[in-house]
Amino acid sequence: EPEVTQTPSHQVTQMGQEVILRCVPISNHLYFYWYRQILGQKVEFLVSFYNNEISEKSEIFDDQFSVERPDGSNFTLKIRSTKLEDSAMYFCASIRNLDLLGTNVLTFGAGSRLTVL
């Protein structure tokens, strides 16, 4: 079964450092997302990406965050200067289209745990 793969599985960084989280979405999917989950809390939407541009972003996704699809397969989330409160599990997700019918489901990766010290 196709899956969304994320790297690294866990990253520890110092406050103020830049972090890049990587995702390889399912190959025929066109819509890509980043969500985050602070430990013990709900999953929160960060940003959606379609046709090489951001289509929607939440208030969490401020100027410190950016996304990119540099090579047609990877989808990255960059945090420019990490803060303590950025510590969370970051999930990448992808979907073929927005119809949400049948086998067209939003598929999540296993997540990248970011710890900011």
Partner 1 sequence: QQQVKQSPQSLIVQKGGISIINCAYENTAFDYFPWYQQFPGKGPALLIAIRPDVSEKKEGRFTISFNKSAKQFSLHIMDSQPGDSATYFCAARDFGNEKLTFGTGTRLTIIP
The one among 45, 69, 76, 78 contacting partner 1 by CB under 8 A: 45
Determine, following the binding rule CB under 8 A, whether residue 56 of this chain makes contact with partner 1: yes
- Cα 100 to chain centroid, rounded: 20
Evaluate whether 112 touches 9 at the Cβ level (below 8 Å): yes
Strand order in the sheet with 5-7: 5-7, 19-24, 75-79, 65-68
**Residue with smaller CB distance to partner 1, 67 or 109:** 109
| Tokens standing for residue 83 | 């803060």
Determine, following the binding rule CB under 8 A, whether residue 111 of this chain makes contact with partner 1: yes
Stretch of 13-21, 37-45, 61-69, 78-86 contacting partner 1, by CB under 8 A: 37-45
Determine, following the binding rule CB under 8 A, whether residue 66 of this chain makes contact with partner 1: no
Q: Which residues form the interface with partner 1 (CB under 8 A)?
A: 4, 31, 33, 35, 41-45, 48, 50, 55-56, 58, 91, 93, 98, 100, 105-111
